[in-house]
């Protein structure tokens, strides 16, 4: 299916559908009329195969106690093996009601109060919250940022681990918002440091299925033929892949017996409910027959990115656009066109956009914004056009005295 056909078939009006992204703009941004380019979900209906599987379940009309069928494992394991050469075993798999929930459980299961947990900033803000909320010490270590291209700063990472005696590192792969798809070599070098200092690695791989060009996602547990498996706890989900976030279903993979035992001991103390039947049903349908839909939505997203990047580069070369190797989130640096403290006013009041602001991901990132490109080309065009028009106005005039020309 080409891009136009896909967009026509799957785009959907989301206002008044209890959408956090579209219906809570007033509450979260103080302005209900913004174009929603924030929360990381998609403005497209999920694949037909998922809708059919859920409909079948609903038509049956019974939601009694359930179990995970063999067909679920078959679908999930095939997906992971075919795409990521990760051969899974049933006994390694656990479930969580969302990836963020799992992060909290891992922190509680594998560290003690007052232990330090390290994250690499800028990074998805619930990483910060999870560490703080669990009463652990949050250690933030910056990624290198070379004109929007982010890399690991190995020396700084090691020093931060030594200084803080960190027990756990939360890895984001592919990385939100830096857009990096970490190579095997990069991960090997980073994990070697973890191994040397006995730091456990929680790998959040929720964005695994969004990689572009020739960038290939390498699961942490697959790096160097599983060399670091005794340090790794992985969590992934079909929720980003097939737009299923509200069905709150994720997979946890713990290949190491000792780590798994420790996790199981902890999880007993919170009497965790195993899974949600609708989440499980949708996940199985996606992994077994959602591949074509995924390829189409990825084409839309990447075409949106190429348009946004090229148009911004041409019209406003002062804006740095981070290369989007993976995820569907575009991170851009507005610092050369607008003073940091005016970013919110510029983006919301002038450009009429609701975005994720850079400082949510790390204190050094005020002046950056993250735009969600999993939407229609039309919305992306409005967003980019508004930014360009307002930035040009701003260049030509005194910002505070120029009325906005825009409405969406």
Ligand X SMILES: Cc1ncc(COP(=O)(O)O)c(C=O)c1O
* Contacts to ligand X by CB under 6 A: 40, 98-100, 124, 172, 176, 204, 206, 237, 239, 245, 250
Minimum CB separation of residue 239 from ligand X in Å reads 5
Minimum CB separation of residue 99 from ligand X in Å reads 4
Compute the chain's Rg from CA coordinates.
21
d(CA 20, CA 15): 10
The residue among 124 and 157 lying less far from ligand X, judged by its C-beta, is 124
- Residue whose CB is nearest to ligand X in the complex, by number: 98
Report whether 193 contacts 310 (CB < 8 A). Answer: no
Question: Which helix (H) or strand (E) is 321 found in, with range?
Answer: strand 320-321
Minimum CB separation of residue 237 from ligand X in Å reads 5
Minimum CB separation of residue 337 from ligand X in Å reads 26
- Nearest CA to 176 out of 240, 249, 122, 116 is that of 122
The residue among 98 and 323 lying less far from ligand X, judged by its C-beta, is 98
The residue among 42 and 391 lying less far from ligand X, judged by its C-beta, is 42
Minimum CB separation of residue 151 from ligand X in Å reads 18
The residue among 70 and 273 lying less far from ligand X, judged by its C-beta, is 273
The residue among 108 and 237 lying less far from ligand X, judged by its C-beta, is 237
| E strands in 78-184 | 93-96, 116-121, 137-142, 144-146, 149-151, 168-172
The residue among 103 and 338 lying less far from ligand X, judged by its C-beta, is 103
How many CB atoms neighbour CB 123 within 10 A?
A: 23
Minimum CB separation of residue 101 from ligand X in Å reads 6
Report whether 169 contacts 127 (CB < 8 A). Answer: no
Chain-centre distance of CA 342, in angstroms?
26
Minimum CB separation of residue 393 from ligand X in Å reads 32
The residue among 40 and 50 lying less far from ligand X, judged by its C-beta, is 40
Minimum CB separation of residue 165 from ligand X in Å reads 25
d(CA 278, CA 53): 9
Q: How many alpha carbons fall within 13 Å on the CB side of residue 147? A: 2
d(CA 124, CA 194): 21
Q: Which two tokens stand for residue 80?
A: 């992971």
Report whether 199 contacts 167 (CB < 8 A). Answer: yes
Question: What are the φ and ψ backbone dihedral angles of 167, each rounded to 5 degrees?
Answer: -100, -20
The residue among 40 and 351 lying less far from ligand X, judged by its C-beta, is 40
CA end-to-end span of the chain, whole Å? 29
- Look at the block and give the residue holding tokens 């790998």: 203
Question: Which helix (H) or strand (E) is 9 found in, with range?
Answer: helix 3-10
Minimum CB separation of residue 94 from ligand X in Å reads 14
The residue among 187 and 239 lying less far from ligand X, judged by its C-beta, is 239
Report whether 325 contacts 350 (CB < 8 A). Answer: no
């Amino acid at each position: 299916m080409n891009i136009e056909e896909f967009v026509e078939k799957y785009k959907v009006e989301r206002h008044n559908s209890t959408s956090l992204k579209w219906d809570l703009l007033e509450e979260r941004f103080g302005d209900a009329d913004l174009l929603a380019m924030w929360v990381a979900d998609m403005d497209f209906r999920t694949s037909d195969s998922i809708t059919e599987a859920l409909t079948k379940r609903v038509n049956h009309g019974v939601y009694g106690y359930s179990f995970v069928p063999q067909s679920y494992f078959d679908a999930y394991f095939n997906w992971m093996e075919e795409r990521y050469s990760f051969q899974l075993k049933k006994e390694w798999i656990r479930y969580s009601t969302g990836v963020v929930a799992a992060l909290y459980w891992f922190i509680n299961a594998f560290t003690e109060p007052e232990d330090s947990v390290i994250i690499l900033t800028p990074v998805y803000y619930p990483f910060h919250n999870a560490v703080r909320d669990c009463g652990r010490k949050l250690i933030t270590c910056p990624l290198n940022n070379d004109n929007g291209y982010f890399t690991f700063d190995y020396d700084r990472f090691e020093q931060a681990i030594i200084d803080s005696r960190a027990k756990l590192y939360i890895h984001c792969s592919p990385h939100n918002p830096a857009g990096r798809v970490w190579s095997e070599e990069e991960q090997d070098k980073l994990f070697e440091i973890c191994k040397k200092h006995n730091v456990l690695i929680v790998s959040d791989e929720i964005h695994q299925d969004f990689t572009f060009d020739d960038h290939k996602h390498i699961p942490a547990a697959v790096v160097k033929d599983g060399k670091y498996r005794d340090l790794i706890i992985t969590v992934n989900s079909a929720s980003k892949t097939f737009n299923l976030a509200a069905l709150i279903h994720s997979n946890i993979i713990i290949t190491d017996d000792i780590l798994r035992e420790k996790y199981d001991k902890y999880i007993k103390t919170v009497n965790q409910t195993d899974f949600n039947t609708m989440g499980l049903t949708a996940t199985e349908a996606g992994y077994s027959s959602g591949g074509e839909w995924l390829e189409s939505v990825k084409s839309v997203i990447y075409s949106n990115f190429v348009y946004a990047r090229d148009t911004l580069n041409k019209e406003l070369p002062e804006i740095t656009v981070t290369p989007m190797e993976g995820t569907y989130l575009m991170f851009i640096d507005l610092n050369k066109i607008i003073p940091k403290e005016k970013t919110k006013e510029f983006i919301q009041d002038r450009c009429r956009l609701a975005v994720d602001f850079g400082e949510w991901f790390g204190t050094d990132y005020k002046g950056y914004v993250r735009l969600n490109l999993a939407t229609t080309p039309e919305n992306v065009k409005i967003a980019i056009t508004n930014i360009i028009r307002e930035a040009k106005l701003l260049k030509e005039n005194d910002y505070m005295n120029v009325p906005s020309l825009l409405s969406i």
